[in-house]
Structure formats: C-alpha cells, structure tokens
C-alpha cells in the first residue's frame, strides 16, 4: 500500500526519468526494441498521472482528517480537464468538500456543481453531493433551493443513516419555517427512525424534539 501511494505521488518524475534513461540506452544499444519496455512503462506512468491523478492520496488525507495535505494534493493537479471524466467529477467534489470545511461557501458551491454536472460515478455519491448543495443553499438563505436539493438527494439515495438523518432534519426545519407542521413532524419521525449516532445530529434531534411536541397538526 505504501509503495503504491509513493508510486502515485512520484509517477510523473519516474516516467520522465525512464524516458531519459531509454534515450541514453538508445545511444549505446543498437535498435529501439531492447529499450521499448522502458518507454512503455514511462508512458503508462505519465498517462496515469494526467488521466487518473492523485485521487487515492486525496481521499487518504481526507479520511485521516489531514485537510492541509489534502489541499496540497488537490493543488498539485494542474490540468484537471485531462482527468478521466468520472475521476474529474470526484476531484471537483473533493475540492468542494475541502472548500466547505474551510467555510469558503462560494468556491464550495462552484466546485460541487462542476462535479454534479459531470455526473457522479455512484448514485450514493451524487446524493451526498446534492445534500451538501442543500446545506450550501441554507447557508446563503435560499430555503427553496435547499429543499429542492435535499429532496433530490433523498431520491438519489444517501450513503448511510447519518446522512439520511441529517437530510430529514433539514427538511423538518424547512417545513417548520413554512409552518407546514404535519410535514415537519413526519420528517422528524424519519430522522429519528434513522437512529443516527453522530453526536451533533443526536443533539439536533434532542433540540428539535422540544418543539415538535408543542406544534399543531
């Protein structure tokens, strides 16, 4: 695993070095074919750098919570338009996630939209991106847009119960603001039924529960 990550990180300079070595050997070895394997490996490494990018390294840093390193790896992608389309979509989504964590909501929305427009490789990933777009819409005080995105996220499917509970809680809040109390209670019931364990979501459920019982409908 460590070797593979190192190879991903340095495959461009390794590929260039292999081409240089191949050219040098061409000058001392008669014919092209004896050094052809070097050229082939070099092309594979260089193509992998531009077409597949360092996605694995980015995800690894984000999963470990090392956002500074994740940002560095993202910034190392100089030509994102060369990335294979599904990978480019995930790249922009990750870029949006990092921007959200840095509270740069304008950049987050821009990158998340790019990722969605390219098409997500998995429906659950698309649902998670749509949920984040809904959260961004709430940040900029756009309840109509937030509701549209979150409902679409639930239709596409969300990856786990925590995301589902978060989506239902947001819809509950939106319905409460619209004074659609029956719908708010139904969304709250669904959020609670998801049985989330994330402390922040559990605390939100406890806070909302204080008001739900007193609502008409």
Assessment of whether the complete model's pTM goes beyond 0.85: no
Q: Is residue 63 part of a domain?
A: no
Is 28 contained in some domain?
yes
Q: What angle do CA 87, 127, 66 make, to 5 degrees?
A: 60
Is 22 part of any domain? yes
Instruction: Tell me, yes or no, whether 58 lies in a domain.
Output: no
Q: Are 107 and 86 a contacting pair, CB within 8 Å?
A: no
Query: What pLDDT does residue 1 have?
Result: 63
Between 121-125, 190-194, 202-206, 207-211, the lowest mean confidence (pLDDT) is in 121-125
Please indicate, yes or no, if residue 95 is contained in any of the structural domains: no
Kindly state whether residue 29 falls inside one of the protein's structural domains.
Answer: yes
- Cβ-contact 107, 99 below 8 angstroms: yes
In a domain, 37, yes or no: yes
Q: Which domain holds residue 41?
A: 1-51
Burial tier of 82 (Cβ tally within 10 Å: 0-12, 13-18, 19+) = middle
3-state SS, residue 128: helix
What is the per-residue pLDDT across 94-150, written as a single tens digit (0 to 9) for each?
A: 899 888 888 888 899 999 999 998 887 676 688 989 999 999 999 889 999 999 999
On whether residue 148 sits in a domain, the answer given is no
71-108 pLDDT, tens digit per residue, is 888 989 999 999 999 899 989 998 998 888 888 888 99
User: pLDDT-derived band of residue 166, with 50, 70 and 90 as boundaries?
Assistant: very high
Domains of the chain: total: 1
DSSP state string for 6-74 = HHHHHHHHHHHHHHHHHHHHHHHSSSSGGGHHHHHHHHHHHHHHHHTTTHHHHHHHHHTT-HHHHHHHH
Higher-scoring residue by pLDDT: 111, 210: 111
d(CA 214, CA 41): 68
Cβ atoms within 10 Å of 206's Cβ, excluding its own? 9
């Amino acid at each position: 695993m460590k070797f593979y990550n190192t190879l991903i990180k340095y495959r461009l300079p390794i590929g260039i070095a292999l081409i240089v070595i191949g050219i040098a050997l061409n000058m001392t070895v008669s014919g092209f074919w004896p050094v052809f394997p070097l050229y082939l490996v070099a092309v594979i490494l260089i193509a992998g750098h531009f077409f597949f990018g360092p996605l694995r390294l980015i995800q690894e840093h984000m999963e470990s919570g090392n956002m500074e390193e994740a940002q560095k790896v993202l910034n190392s992608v100089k030509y994102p338009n060369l990335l294979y389309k599904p990978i480019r979509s995930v790249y922009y989504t990750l870029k949006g996630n990092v921007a959200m964590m840095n509270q740069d909501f304008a950049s987050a929305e821009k990158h998340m939209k790019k990722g969605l427009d390219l098409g997500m490789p998995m429906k659950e990933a698309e649902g998670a991106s749509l949920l984040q777009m809904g959260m961004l819409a709430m940040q900029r005080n756009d309840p109509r847009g937030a509701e549209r995105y979150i409902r679409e996220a639930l239709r596409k499917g969300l990856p786990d119960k925590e995301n589902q509970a978060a989506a239902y809680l947001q819809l509950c809040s939106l319905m409460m603001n619209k004074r659609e109390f029956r719908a708010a209670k139904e969304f709250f019931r669904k959020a609670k039924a998801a049985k989330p364990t994330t402390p922040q979501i559990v605390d939100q459920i406890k806070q909302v529960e204080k008001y739900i019982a007193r609502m008409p409908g």
